[in-house]
Structure 1
Amino acid sequence: MKHLSCWSLALLTASAFAQSVPKPTATTAASPLTVETIMQDPKTWVGTSPSNPFWSDDSRTLYFSWTPPVNTDKAKSDSLYKVTFTASGKDNSAKGKKLVASQPVKVSPSERRALTTGPTTAYNQSFTQRLFERQGDIFLVDVRSGTIRQLTNTVEIETDAVFSGDQQRVVFRRTGSNLFSIDLKTGLLTQLTDFKPGAKKADPKLTDEEKFLKQDQLRLSDVLAERKAKKDAGERISKADRPKRPKEIYMDDKQVAGLQQSPDGRFVTYRMTKSATNAKTAQVPNYITESGYTEEIPARTKVGAPLASQEFFLYDVAKDTVRAMSVKDIPGISDKPAYLKTVSSSAKSDTAKKTRPVTISGPVWSLDGKLAVVTIRSLDNKDRWIMRLEPETLKLTLLDRQHDDAWIGGPGISFASGNMGFLGDNQTLWYQSEADGYSHLYTINVLTPVLKKQLTSGKFEVQQVQLSKDRTQFFLQTNEVHPGEQHFYRMPVTGGERIRLTTMVGANDVTLSPDETRMAIRYSSTNHPWEMYVADVPQSSISISKKQSAQPTDVQNAAVKLTDSPTESFKQYPWREPTLVTIPARDGQPIYARLYKSTNPSGKSVVFVHGAGYLQNAHKWWSSYFREYMFHNLLVDKGYTVLDIDYRGSAGYGRDWRTGIYRYMGGKDLEDHVDAAKWLVQTQGVDAKRIGLYGGSYGGFITLMAMFTTPDVFKAGAALRPVTDWAAYNHGYTANILNEPQLDSLSYRRSSPINFAEGLKGHLLICHGMVDVNVHFQDAVRLAQRLIELKKENWELAPYPVEDHGFVEPTSWMDEYKRILKLFDERL
């Protein structure tokens, strides 16, 4: 297959399978799957699963976004539905009362507008009042009576509302950069900060000559001297009578963020961020526009570009002063990254011993307002410090330091402060850390840091944490039963026995009711999309110290299914449940994978590579790659054996697996795929000369690396929206894994497929959206030119002019996957 001229644009019009796509018809039990069927609009084919659940304040009604399979109102987007609950009668199969749920009912527009749940919520300490926001205004609801009080009604937008430490005021941020408060008794509105854009205009300075003339004139004229004295006295009186206002703080060319008032009202903490002035932003050309002209879409900077700088400040209201926090004495703040020992001397000299730039999150305050904790991260993301902050002195005391020669990450850790808070004693801080290799829950006494305790341990991850309202127990989501399962637990705040509250095999994404007696469970299995269930929080269940596979009868019977989302057409096909297998890697580590086996295997095999950004796909729930899942069923119908693996770098397996790609993408992650291909040949009867692979984004990158650097393993590959040169990708993701290109050029050289294009032997398909603002189309264009110059003929590039990184149009999906299927059918 020869490459077409330029970027094979002719593929868009001339190819036999790029002609107008016929309208898909419903699949029946007797008809095979087709690309047209599985790539059509998922709302009309698969159905729309429930999402975004939330409870009424009285815990009696559950709301969620949903579109039923029979959409009578022809809604073009999800609608809001509700289910109400009662507990009546005796349930013979389970002890106690049986949970009774109404049928899902669509919420009317008027009822929806009156709901008390907005984009954010905040409770008072006794959980009797709650704040919410609607259309940029702030409201207060009495949880018991349901009474609503509107606190603001302005054209400006008020956000981030919280109760003050004394619970008597509501503190919020108004459009711009300032904090305000409203007294709940008097309604008094008070401005707490006065940030002003630009720089303060300095009073004109007098020259020495001007000063002399002024003093001499006052010496010579009693009238002028007397008038000046009266004027100065008047100004002093006026200043004394003037109401106290917050200090004017000029932002210059910076932006303010993270505004927070201390519980006692004494301090306001905030961050000032200055954007890098010389960081160039890439532009993405958009050719298909309403105007008929090519338009440019501002995208992002590239890795290694100058970063924004940040400082942390404290405004002392009582003293009317502003102070900056110093970080120069933080333990290890000047440590050089370990990788610099292996790079060139010029790079080392550029990073002489100096204070590393950091970002500061928080503070997190104890309920009594006496203790504050901040989280500090180095911008190279190799250190995270949790430190006690003493506002009076800005003194920092180390509580916990997590260091990683690669990068800090993992569930509950990756962003800002991470999961963190105080227990009821107002001294004990809980947080998550990967200190032992997996994200686990810890506590530490802020006043006595030696009193540190690890509450969970083992080769699993704590993925979500919620402290109960009485602060006596944690509600946790973990994958301890199996890396591919998610279950919900409760555990005392002191640690010890964890009680499993969910039982269905798959993913159990739980939203607790406000009174913590009911669980809304968004659940899915491998071959069935997400549905909404509800169950009472059991008072007794099975602990993880007992047999984990056991399913407590009272929980099993209590779960009530609320929705049935797939369409009848979708249900008619017998969707397969892939087998979860473990494959031995060359270094002895187990690779978790999904295996799809055909009843009539042909010896052909396709390996799917999921994307990155810390993602998992070898699991027991409905995949976010549902189109690919359906495509794999189609391939199996045609005799293919299909495998997709959670390679090095995937989520769900702890720190070492996550960082296994550090400084070498296309190293262990590609080796895992090569080892998986070998396993297919040795155990599944696959022909070693008939293996292909495909994937998008990071999956496209791995496909390129495989086709270029292990060309004898994979005969054909489809690289979708692939990264071809990591030096062209963004900073936040890439710098964690490969450091910066100007400091660690070796990592970028060996990790970028464009450097190995000469190794291509098999047949390669590249598909890329032309308005991709994540992985720019430029990546594909540069690789195309490289392949042209290398005189390679066994490749093609299909560009999609209206598609971003994630395709939207069904016709684009159909065209792309027809090409993939044609590639494998012809070349394998």
Structure 2
Amino acid sequence: MTQFRYPLLAVALCSLTVASPLQAKKAEPQTYQTSTVSVAKAFNADTATTLSLEQIMADPDWLGRQPEAAHWSADSTQVYYQRKRQGSELRDWYARPLNGSDNGSLVSAGALHLIGSDDAVYNRDRSMQAWIFEGDVFVRNMLSGELTQLTRDNAQQTAAEFLLDGRLAYREGWTYFAHNLTTGLRTELASLKTEAKPKGPAKPAGYLAQEQHKLIEFVALEQKNAEQRYAARQQLQKENASLPAAAFYLGKDQHIVAASLSPKADYLLVSVRKSSKRNDKDIMPNYITGNGDIAAEQVRARVNDVIPQPQRLLLLNLQDGSSTELSYSSLPGYNEDVLAKVKAENAKAQGEKYKSAKVIRDIGLMTDWYWSQSAMRWHSSGEQVALMLKALDNKDRWIATVDLQKKVLVPQHRLHDEAWVNYAFNDYGWLNNSSSLYYLSEESGYAHLYLKPLNGKAKKLTSGTFEVSSPVLTHNDNYIYFQANVNHPGNYEVFRTELSSGNLQQLTRLGGSTSFTLSPDEQKLLLNFSTNLSPNELYVADAKPEATVAQLTDTISEQFKQLPLVAPQIVAVPSSHGEQPVFSKVYYPADYQQGEARRAVVFNHGAGYLQNSDLGWSGYFREFLFHNLLVQQGYVVMDMDYRASKGYGRDWRTAIYRRMGTPEIEDLVDGVNWMVANANVDRNRIGTYGGSYGGFMTFMALFKEPELFQAGAALRPVSDWAYYNHAYTSNILNTPAIDPIAYERSSPIYFTQGLTKPLLINAPMVDDNVFFQDVVRLVQRLIEQENINFETAIYPVEPHGFRQPSSWLDEYRRIYKLFEQNL
């Protein structure tokens, strides 16, 4: 890995100017730029204003209700976006012309079907656009602007797709239709049935039935008529082209994972697995209900109980009705025992010996909860199809194409990771005008773009110690636009790479966090931009270097703009466990270097794989304001992107493999040491808190490093990873059946005997993410150990993410009281 050297980096509000593009062909920075970002566009803060918990934890409408879910109009002349309705959880749509003013105009309910969708599809020459609104299909002629509604029913159409012959395809349930836009004829292309194929009238079986058919003429005649009707229907289905094709019967107790229709409507690719029966134990009691009863609500299974089902990949020929199962045996490593070392270590711990052997691994589509794209991608010509597949043990991800003649998978790329393959950074697709694939891969240690011809070697399009995400290919294959943190791990800008030359160009230099949407005509960028001190707003710029940026929305409230907020400085805390530093936000009081050493609080962000010490507006906006309140009262606050956080490469992400709660707490130790040495902090007056993964870290810090913090608050915390979900946990710790060592090493409930300092545990009771049971079990263990250093607050109506301002206020009053009393 690259060595890193970072001085202190102070980051404040940024400018809204676009600087010149990068000129290097392939930027390969060995260190991030660390110069101070200039300050511009500051709010007119009233320094006499003081923050209060009541204001911070109030309904967030007071911040201004920022734009959400923005997308372009079909003609690229205006933008549609949603905005929360004042005092309601409902969202309204707004239309903002590029040449307009203010925040645009409200779109009436009667006109919502006209605005299109962010997932609208186009035909090959982009003369037609289609989208789904409320389960019905709409088509717009891009030349005339004429709008046609194709369906108006309760059938719920989905997956609109233009076919190469001009028809528009969509599906209802798992039945595919093609709609002729000229004649209006709707044709059923394929119907998928998860049941056994009918076999026609059954022959008499057994002695009594056979005798009955011999002795009773009526019974024999009925049997004969039934067989003739069945044969006639089969003949009609085969010979009469006016009838729909016969259904595909996929088998009883099968679940359709995904399917993808060829643009030529000649093939359908389908992935199926065995249906999983619901476990009656997977329930959550809800004590506060409308009728006064206790409701047993269904929730997800625990990782301990999940047995992932392998998927079968079927190639259905829509021309002759045949079905072929595609074998995974051509994929490199499909039968490797990739967990041999883990199994051997666990066997040894149990006094046994593990013998490794070849094993057929369970494989399926890359359909993780994090990834919203289709894992099946047809080339626009309909001549090729690619799939992204993963091993269910989480160690391999493959991209493969299908030889449609030989009906076999052809491997194109394998990404193997001894820890786990990331569920992010898996975008891929075809070039439009050649048989080449582009894709993201972490194989170099960072997520970068690659280009691979089907019969050639892959070419790396980007390089360096930064992450590439959200690639968008232009329709002429000239450019791929993307978001990346090239200049600093917390600064996300928009870039593009020119495929013919490899030139990398930086298109924005706004200094905070910027995401983008390319306009349908590919001439403009819709930018969603924020800073540490300013929530997101919408901007627009030409899709080229050095373009002027214009602001489209101004939704931030005047009340918020008047707050005397402190911009955190982002510092690179040296690590005692590696070359790469721990990037951290530090909030300083104005006079922190004067007088006696300060109190301090360390905040632990949730999600584990999340970046919070970046330059954009944080989803933890309440915590951000709470930290400002603490700063006003003389605290120093640190918010660390500990190991496992997003934005810093593969090694940073996988440092917690099989040992969650160890590298992160080591980083907290380094953070505390840094504050004592550099921020005038008293080592004996430091507390910590966090929610979800941050609550888990609070547990581990107080249990395993009892002298590090003088108090801690664990909010909606994980106490035993065997009780968490499968999709997230099995990546990092494998499964309890295979790797109990990892679970016992990583779960706080095994270390409760280390608690010696005051601990506040706040737990929502209707949390379907981290179950209330996590807190109940850990509290009972503390009681049995006769530990009196904790108290618990419960929130009967709250899910994982609190909804009621009164709950937020109660929670943070308790956190504040904990720190005031103990620091």
For this structure pair, what is the TM-score category when the shorter chain's length is used for normalisation?
Answer: 0.7 to 0.9
Higher alpha-carbon deviation: 718-727 or 320-329: 320-329
* Correspondence for 2:180: 183
* Correspondence for 2:402: 389
Cα distance in 2 for partners of 1:595, 1:240 equals 73
Higher alpha-carbon deviation: 339-348 or 809-818: 339-348
- CA spacing shift, 1:231–1:356, aligned 2, 3 Å: closer
* Correspondence for 2:441: 433
- CA spacing shift, 1:788–1:33, aligned 2, 3 Å: same
* Correspondence for 1:60: 77
- CA spacing shift, 1:733–1:214, aligned 2, 3 Å: same
Q: Which has the higher contact order (CA 8 A, sep 6+)?
A: 2
**Aligned 1:478-493 pairs, distance under 5 A:** 478-493=484-499
* Correspondence for 1:120: 119
**Aligned 1:31-430 pairs, distance under 5 A:** 31-44=49-62, 46-66=63-83, 77-86=90-99, 101-109=100-108, 112-118=111-117, 120-166=119-165, 168-174=166-172, 176-202=173-199, 203-207=201-205, 242-243=240-241, 244-250=243-249, 251-277=251-277, 279=279, 281-304=281-304, 305-338=306-339, 339-344=342-347, 353-360=358-365, 362-409=375-422, 411-413=424-426, 419-430=427-438
AA partner of residue 139 (structure 2): L
- CA spacing shift, 1:821–1:141, aligned 2, 3 Å: same
Higher alpha-carbon deviation: 741-750 or 47-56: 47-56
Gaps of 5+ in 2: 1-44, 367-374
Cα distance in 1 for partners of 2:522, 2:628 equals 40
- Once the two structures are TM-superposed, the CA of residue 314 in structure 1 deviates from its matched residue by 1.4
* Correspondence for 1:807: 802
AA partner of residue 735 (structure 1): S
Aligned partner (choices 574, 577, 591) of residue 587 of structure 1: 577
- Once the two structures are TM-superposed, the CA of residue 340 in structure 1 deviates from its matched residue by 2.5
Cα distance in 2 for partners of 1:714, 1:227 equals 84
RMSD: 2.8
Cα distance in 1 for partners of 2:355, 2:631 equals 55
Checking the alignment, whether the CA contact within 8 Å between 1:41 and 1:810 is kept in structure 2 is yes
Checking the alignment, whether the CA contact within 8 Å between 2:49 and 2:564 is kept in structure 1 is no
- Once the two structures are TM-superposed, the CA of residue 214 in structure 1 deviates from its matched residue by 11
Higher alpha-carbon deviation: 791-800 or 104-113: 104-113
Cα distance in 2 for partners of 1:127, 1:647 equals 46
- Once the two structures are TM-superposed, the CA of residue 500 in structure 1 deviates from its matched residue by 1.1
- Once the two structures are TM-superposed, the CA of residue 478 in structure 1 deviates from its matched residue by 0.5
SS of match in other structure, 1:529: coil
Cα distance in 2 for partners of 1:227, 1:278 equals 43
- CA spacing shift, 1:183–1:228, aligned 2, 3 Å: closer
Checking the alignment, whether the CA contact within 8 Å between 2:330 and 2:411 is kept in structure 1 is no
Checking the alignment, whether the CA contact within 8 Å between 2:526 and 2:541 is kept in structure 1 is yes
Checking the alignment, whether the CA contact within 8 Å between 1:118 and 1:132 is kept in structure 2 is yes
Checking the alignment, whether the CA contact within 8 Å between 2:80 and 2:115 is kept in structure 1 is no
Gaps of 5+ in 1: 1-26, 87-100, 414-418, 542-551
Checking the alignment, whether the CA contact within 8 Å between 1:256 and 1:271 is kept in structure 2 is yes
Checking the alignment, whether the CA contact within 8 Å between 2:468 and 2:482 is kept in structure 1 is yes
SS of match in other structure, 1:575: coil
Q: TM-score, normalised by structure 1?
A: 0.86
Cα distance in 2 for partners of 1:225, 1:659 equals 66
- Once the two structures are TM-superposed, the CA of residue 215 in structure 1 deviates from its matched residue by 12
- CA spacing shift, 1:600–1:206, aligned 2, 3 Å: same
Cα distance in 2 for partners of 1:48, 1:350 equals 59
**Aligned 1:617-628 pairs, distance under 5 A:** 617-628=612-623
AA partner of residue 576 (structure 2): R
Checking the alignment, whether the CA contact within 8 Å between 1:119 and 1:133 is kept in structure 2 is no
Cα distance in 2 for partners of 1:508, 1:189 equals 43
Cα distance in 2 for partners of 1:783, 1:237 equals 67
SS of match in other structure, 1:370: coil
AA partner of residue 190 (structure 1): T
- CA spacing shift, 1:214–1:235, aligned 2, 3 Å: farther
Cα distance in 2 for partners of 1:579, 1:723 equals 30
Higher alpha-carbon deviation: 753-762 or 491-500: 491-500
Checking the alignment, whether the CA contact within 8 Å between 1:367 and 1:426 is kept in structure 2 is no
Aligned partner (choices 769, 772, 783) of residue 777 of structure 1: 772
Q: Write out per-residue CA displacement over residues 123-149 of structure 1, whole angstroms, 9 at most, x where no aligned residue.
A: 111111111112211111011221111
Q: TM-score, normalised by structure 2?
A: 0.87
* Correspondence for 1:757: 752
* Correspondence for 2:665: 670
Cα distance in 2 for partners of 1:528, 1:233 equals 72
**Aligned 1:603-618 pairs, distance under 5 A:** 603-618=598-613
- CA spacing shift, 1:61–1:781, aligned 2, 3 Å: same
* Correspondence for 2:27: none
**Aligned 1:709-720 pairs, distance under 5 A:** 709-720=704-715
AA partner of residue 111 (structure 2): R
Cα distance in 2 for partners of 1:780, 1:411 equals 30
**Aligned 1:428-827 pairs, distance under 5 A:** 428-446=436-454, 448-449=455-456, 451-494=457-500, 496-538=502-544, 541=545, 552=546, 555=547, 558-588=548-578, 589-601=580-592, 602-827=597-822
- Once the two structures are TM-superposed, the CA of residue 80 in structure 1 deviates from its matched residue by 2.2
AA partner of residue 527 (structure 2): I
Cα distance in 1 for partners of 2:403, 2:750 equals 52
Checking the alignment, whether the CA contact within 8 Å between 2:425 and 2:442 is kept in structure 1 is no
Cα distance in 2 for partners of 1:38, 1:225 equals 78
SS of match in other structure, 2:763: strand
Cα distance in 1 for partners of 2:588, 2:626 equals 13
AA partner of residue 337 (structure 2): K
AA partner of residue 132 (structure 2): E
SS of match in other structure, 1:630: helix
SS of match in other structure, 2:491: coil
- CA spacing shift, 1:231–1:673, aligned 2, 3 Å: closer
AA partner of residue 567 (structure 2): E
Checking the alignment, whether the CA contact within 8 Å between 2:178 and 2:189 is kept in structure 1 is yes
Higher alpha-carbon deviation: 295-304 or 766-775: 295-304
- Taking only the aligned residue pairs, the percentage that are identical comes to 38
- CA spacing shift, 1:326–1:470, aligned 2, 3 Å: same
Cα distance in 1 for partners of 2:796, 2:279 equals 28
**Aligned 1:5-20 pairs, distance under 5 A:** none
Cα distance in 2 for partners of 1:563, 1:211 equals 78
AA partner of residue 431 (structure 2): L
Cα distance in 1 for partners of 2:603, 2:560 equals 23
Checking the alignment, whether the CA contact within 8 Å between 1:267 and 1:316 is kept in structure 2 is yes
AA partner of residue 448 (structure 2): H
Checking the alignment, whether the CA contact within 8 Å between 1:165 and 1:262 is kept in structure 2 is no
Checking the alignment, whether the CA contact within 8 Å between 2:433 and 2:476 is kept in structure 1 is no
- CA spacing shift, 1:348–1:157, aligned 2, 3 Å: farther
